[in-house]
Structure 1
Amino acid sequence: MNTKNLICKEIRIDSNALEIPRATYQRELNMDRVHKIAAEFDERIANEPKVSYRGGRYYVFDGQHTIAARKLLNGGKDLPIRCKVFYGLTESDEALLFAQQTGASARLTAGAKFRALIYGGDKEALAFLKATESVGLCVDCKQTRGVKRLACIATAFELYKKVGGEVYREAMRAIVDAWGGDPDSLRAETVQGVVEFVDLYYGEYNRRRLVTRLRQVDPLTIFREGRAMTSLPGYKRYLYQVYRLYNGSSAKTALPMKF
Structure 2
Amino acid sequence: MSSYRKKHNPQKPVKPKPAVQPDPEYSNPGVERSIHTDRLTSGLPYQRPVNPKEVDRLIREWDERLLDPVTVSFRDGKFYVVDGQHRISAMRKMNGGRGIMVDCKVYNGLTYEQEADLCYKLDKAKKRLSLSQSTNVLAESGVDAEITEVKRLVENCGFIWALGKSHGKTGEIVSTRALVNAYRLLGGASFTRMLQLLWDTWKGDPRSLTAALLAGMALFVKTYDTELNDRTFISRLSQADPDEINRRGRADFSTSNNALRFARVILEKYNGQRGGRKLPYRFRG
Query: What is the one-letter code of the residue matched to 1:92?
Result: E
The residue number in structure 1 matching 2:84 is: 63
Distance between the aligned counterparts of 1:239 and 1:121, measured in 2? 32
Preserved contact between residue 271 and residue 278 of structure 2 (Cα < 8 Å):
no
Measured in 2, the distance between the counterparts of 1:214 and 1:159 equals 20
Q: 1:46-103: per-residue Cα shift (whole Å, max 9, x none)? A: 444333355776532111111231343355452342x455566333200233245235
SS of equivalent to 1:203: helix
Shift in alpha-carbon separation, 1:78–1:193, aligned structure 2, 3 A: same
* Structure 1 residue corresponding to 2:72, chosen from 51, 58, 66: 51
Q: Does 1:236 align with 2:249?
A: no
What residue number does 2:58 align with? 37
Match of 1:133 in 2: 155
Aligned counterpart in structure 1 of residue 101 of structure 2, from 79, 95, 110: 79
Query: How far apart in 2 are the matches of 1:126 and 1:238?
Result: 27
Counterpart in the other structure of 2:237:
214
Partner in structure 2 of residue 149 of structure 1 = 172
Q: Using a 3 Å threshold, how does the CA distance of structure 1 residues 109 and 138 change in structure 2: closer, same or farther?
A: same
Deviation at 1:37, TM superposition (A): 1.7
2:160–2:171 Cα contact (<8 Å) kept? yes
What amino acid sits opposite 2:195 in the alignment? M
Q: Matched residues in 1 for 2:146 and 2:116: separation?
A: 15
Q: Distance in 2 between matches of 1:85 and 1:27?
A: 20
Letter in 2 for 1:237: R
Q: Distance in 1 between matches of 2:102 and 2:159?
A: 46
Counterpart Cα distance in 1 of 2:222 and 2:187: 9
CA–CA distance in structure 2, aligned partners of residues 225 and 42 of structure 1: 52
Could you say if the C-alpha distance between residues 173 and 56 of structure 1 is closer, same or farther in structure 2, counting changes exceeding 3 Å?
closer
In the other structure, the counterpart of 1:257 is 283
CA distance in 2, matches of 1:34, 1:128: 33
Q: CA deviation at 1:105?
A: 7.2
Whether 1:94 and 2:115 are equivalent positions in the alignment is: yes
Question: 2:226 maps to what in 1?
Answer: 203
The aligned amino acid for 1:207 is D
CA RMSD, 1 decimal: 3.7
Instruction: Give the CA deviation at 1:16.
Output: 3.8
User: Structure 2 vs 1, CA of residues 90 and 138 (structure 1 numbering), >3 Å: closer, same or farther?
Assistant: closer
In structure 1, stretches of 5+ residues that fail to align are: none
Q: Select the structure of larger CA radius of gyration.
A: 2
Deviation of residue 23 (structure 1)? 5.5
Which 10-residue stretch deviates more, 248-257 or 130-139? 248-257
Per-residue CA deviations over 1:163-211 (Å, capped at 9, x if unaligned) read 2221111112212222233231122222221122112332233333333
SS at match of 1:232: coil
**Superposition deviation, residue 159 in structure 1:** 2.4
TM-score, structure 1 as length reference: 0.75
Q: Secondary structure at the match of 1:11?
A: strand
* Corresponding residue for residue 110 of structure 1: 132
Instruction: Give me the identity figure in percent.
Output: 29
What CA distance in whole angstroms lies between the structure 1 residues aligned with 2:279 and 2:79? 63
Paired residues in the alignment total 254
CA contact (8 A) 1:92 1:120 kept: yes
Pick closer, same or farther for the CA change 1:80–1:172 going to 2, 3 Å. Answer: closer
CA contact (8 A) 1:184 1:219 kept: yes
Q: TM-score, normalised by structure 2?
A: 0.70
1:21–1:238: structure 2 CA closer, same or farther, 3 Å change rule? same
Q: Which runs of 5+ in 2 are unaligned?
A: 1-24
